[in-house]
Amino acid sequence: MHISKLHILNFRNFRNQKFIFQPGVNTLIGENGSGKSNVLFALRLLLDNNLPINASKLLETDFNRGIRRWQGHWIIISIDFDNLDTSEGASLLAHNLEHIEGSVSTGTYTFYFRPNKKYRKKLYDLTMDEHKDPNKLDAILNEITINDYEGVFYLRAKANFSEESVYKEIVGDFENIIFPNPEDEKKDIQGYPAANLFLVRSEISCTYIKALRDVMSELRKNKQSPLLSLLRGSAKNILVDDSKNISDKVTDLNKTISGLPEIMQLAERVRNTLNSTIGFTYAPNVSIQSELPEDINKLFQALTLWVGDGENDNHLGKLDDLSLGGANLIYITLKLLEYEYKQPTEEKAAHFLLIEEPEAHIHTHIQKTLFDNYRFQNTQVITTTHSTHISSANKIHSVNILCKEPNETLVSQPSNGLTPEECLRIERYLDATRSTLLFAKGVILVEGDAELVLIPTLFKKVFGLSLDEIGVSIINMNSTVFEHISNLFHDDRIRRNCAIITDHDQSLIPLPIEKSKDNDQERKARNSAEKGQERKDKLDAYCVGNRWVEAFYAKHTFEIDFVLNNNDIEVRRTLNKIYKQKKAIEGSKNLLKSKNPIDVGVETLRLADSVVGKGWFALILAEEITYQSYIPKYILDAIAFATGHIGYKHFEKMIKYRIENEIGREEYEKFKEKLEAIPLGDRDLELLKSLSNDILESDDDLYLFMEKYEENQKCLKD
């Protein structure tokens, strides 16, 4: 028995989202504030007996902010199960009671947070009113407070909560004032009230390991300490004779301590002082006794871990001496061990292990090892993470990606619609570096090392913002086969923009009309051009119909297009780092100063290809990039496509940077003064451009970037 789906409606970050889970280990990944912890809490509401009884009494703030007004709406959290067994609790969940005899064994378990029956009846009565006055609806909704809501659990719901029509049928249509009769619930859709919730919960084991903000504090807690929980379990295994022997020794020790002359003398002094100050009539009789606990369970509270950092560290000390990473590992280990102790003693239909951000303070190698070793029999693990190391170790079909949007979070399943072979290729490719694309707001796939090094450097130096700062990951494909990874970006999978940057490889040198007349250099250039055109045709066809993926091309190659975009000075500055002989430097410099673009382009490509290699050349060239460098138009267009999520504040920061560096501090202060005189709500891109028209050149890279960005935004609206 395992969770196959989770539907969340109107709860915190989630307006109406579906999660897909697999048996074994599952991962929830997403940026801060995307709602990963809220997903675990939603699961715990239905599964975890350790939550307080009043946990299902939610607050106004638990409703999704995208709802115009929360009154009257429902929060719905529904879990779908697969592979139910024959236990009584599982049978209560089952859609088909004959699943025991071999039919498909599925079931559901649903939590509704809804207005109480009194107000649902009022809404239904309004439905029956032929006038259906919206003012009367507002009056009813205005009466409802959070205290008028109830949390209820249902079994065997068959509703597809992703469908808006289903929500309207169960909850109501607010626009048309149509609400269901609470006396006539559609049990075939919304399920049956869980009359025996205890029986369902008794068949399920749920262990939650929370994110550790203060590891030491958690380990020191007497009542909630995972060590004490394990010790209590061990105490049950101590034989009665052993337990009595220990208790007797403690009793003797208490007597010995209490009988020490110094203790008895102190007790006598206390009694004498009481007698002399209060008098014999009112003075209480006192003694001093040792009270070491004689109960074995209480004695265990005195036990603590002594630890050292690593197997080669022979020194053992208190927890306070341990590193944060070591303390986190100790805590997780104790919680996993506590979970293992439960399994053999609890015959359950299912075991669920919920782990929040296990990577805190843990070394990268340990993160991957820890993840790989999450393996428990008859257990489904669901873990949240920010770690690229953990995400790169997981199976794509077991990942849910949480994408933060205004007022809600969208959930994507990157394997949706892909074949097992396609998923396997992606999993092999996603090392810790490349798996950042799963966390990004926009992605750029590039052909090789040169683009990987220089594009982020160009953007940072020219605009003053890093690609990381605007949430864009640039991924080196080390080839021109982009489709395997770009397949992830689709309406059915990850709904993020993915720009592909590659070379068209058209010949810089003129080619004869007839192939037969090509010399060796021309033949090589022609072959590259033909392959480049084939690649472009294939990529263009691949991108058709997918709004999330678009390809952008250097006319020739990245190095040639870069240098011919008025960046020959930057290339010339690298020569002293490439050559030691003055003759070689001067010879190359003369070619790069040539008025003939063919000479300039061919020489740049020679330096990159033959002299130092493209990767090293890019590293050397990156040191020479400044705010005066130019970004090739196709790269600007690609970044604009990948950054559809950025807004006014980003452009304001970029334009201030451009003015301060290109023009100077004085003009920057004037621009800033004019801008700050305008209310924040009235500022937009058009205003930025109008204020800076007389300051920056009309062909400034930032204007070109903004034009492409605005063009993309207009296309999205259309």
Find the range with the poorest average confidence among 207-221, 537-551, 615-629. 207-221
Distance CA(399)–CA(438), nearest Å, equals 10
Residue 171 belongs to some domain of the structure: yes
- Are 547 and 665 members of one domain? no
78's tokens: 């529904």
Average pLDDT, the chain: 85
Long-range contact list for 179-185, CB < 8 A, 24+ apart?
Answer: 179/120, 179/123, 179/124, 179/126, 179/127, 180/120, 180/124, 181/124, 182/117, 182/120, 182/121, 182/124, 183/121
Quote the pLDDT of residue 118.
96
Find the range with the poorest average confidence among 219-233, 294-308, 519-533, 673-687. 219-233
Q: Which of 316, 332, 348 is the endpoint of a domain?
A: 332
> Comparing C-alpha atoms, which of 577, 702, 551, 698 is closest to residue 630?
702
- Are 95 and 129 members of one domain? yes
Distance CA(69)–CA(58), nearest Å, equals 16
Distance CA(472)–CA(658), nearest Å, equals 21
Residue 47 belongs to some domain of the structure: yes
- Are 589 and 654 members of one domain? no
Segment 232-250, tens digit of pLDDT: 554 455 555 577 788 888 8
What's the structural domain count of the chain?
A: 4
- Are 163 and 252 members of one domain? no
Segment 647-673, tens digit of pLDDT: 999 999 999 999 999 999 999 999 999
Distance CA(396)–CA(95), nearest Å, equals 29
Average the pLDDT over 174-192 and give the result.
Answer: 92
Residue 388 belongs to some domain of the structure: no
Find the range with the poorest average confidence among 363-367, 464-468, 538-542, 546-550. 363-367
**Predicted confidence band at 268 (pLDDT cuts at 50, 70, 90)?**
confident
Average the pLDDT over 378-383 and give the result.
Answer: 84
- Are 631 and 655 members of one domain? no
- Are 501 and 605 members of one domain? yes
- Are 124 and 247 members of one domain? no
Q: Which of 608, 635, 662 is the endpoint of a domain?
A: 635
Q: Which of 332, 352, 377 is the endpoint of a domain?
A: 332
Average the pLDDT over 678-687 and give the result.
Answer: 91
Segment 215-235, tens digit of pLDDT: 556 555 555 565 556 555 544
Distance CA(500)–CA(539), nearest Å, equals 9
Distance CA(687)–CA(692), nearest Å, equals 9
> Comparing C-alpha atoms, which of 16, 17, 23, 21 is closest to residue 5?
21
pLDDT above 90 as % of the chain: 53
Residue 371 belongs to some domain of the structure: no
* This prediction's pTM: 0.79
Find the range with the poorest average confidence among 288-297, 438-447, 605-614. 288-297
Give 42's contacts (C-beta < 8 A, 6+ positions apart). 6, 8, 11, 77
- Are 627 and 660 members of one domain? no
The helix or strand, by DSSP H or E, that contains position 404, with its residue range, turns out to be: strand 399-405
Distance CA(350)–CA(704), nearest Å, equals 57
- Are 541 and 658 members of one domain? no
> In the beta sheet, which residues pair with residue 664?
none
| Dihedral pair phi/psi, residue 533, rounded to 5° | -70, -40
Give 301's contacts (C-beta < 8 A, 6+ positions apart). 222, 228, 293
Residue 66 belongs to some domain of the structure: yes
**Predicted confidence band at 361 (pLDDT cuts at 50, 70, 90)?**
very low
Residue 112 C-alpha from the chain's centroid: 26
Distance CA(295)–CA(247), nearest Å, equals 7
Q: Is the model's pLDDT at 533 over the cut of 90? A: yes
3-state secondary structure 228-260: HHHHHHHHCCCCHHHHHHHHHHHHHHHHHHHCC
Quote the pLDDT of residue 91.
74
Domain that holds residue 496: 440-635
Distance CA(631)–CA(615), nearest Å, equals 19
> In the beta sheet, which residues pair with residue 76?
9, 112
Quote the pLDDT of residue 266.
83
Judge contact between 444 and 472, C-beta under 8 A: yes
- Are 626 and 655 members of one domain? no
Average the pLDDT over 346-375 and give the result.
Answer: 66
Identify the residue with better confidence: 137 or 479. 137
- Are 575 and 481 members of one domain? yes
Average the pLDDT over 135-144 and give the result.
Answer: 95
Residue 240 belongs to some domain of the structure: yes
Residue 206 belongs to some domain of the structure: no
Quote the pLDDT of residue 700.
93
Segment 397-409, tens digit of pLDDT: 899 999 988 889 9
Residue 432 C-alpha from the chain's centroid: 15
Judge contact between 650 and 702, C-beta under 8 A: no
Radius of gyration (Cα) for the chain, nearest Å? 34
**Predicted confidence band at 312 (pLDDT cuts at 50, 70, 90)?**
very low
**Predicted confidence band at 349 (pLDDT cuts at 50, 70, 90)?**
confident
Range list of H helices, 98-143: 117-128, 134-143
The helix or strand, by DSSP H or E, that contains position 365, with its residue range, turns out to be: helix 364-372
Judge contact between 437 and 475, C-beta under 8 A: yes
Q: Amino acid identity, residue 678?
A: I
- Are 599 and 683 members of one domain? no
Segment 103-138, tens digit of pLDDT: 558 889 999 999 999 999 999 999 998 888 999 999
**Predicted confidence band at 99 (pLDDT cuts at 50, 70, 90)?**
very low
**Predicted confidence band at 344 (pLDDT cuts at 50, 70, 90)?**
very low
Residue 417 belongs to some domain of the structure: no
Range list of H helices, 507-581: 520-543, 558-563, 568-573, 575-578
DSSP 216: H
Q: How many CA atoms lie within 13 A of 476 on its CB side?
A: 14
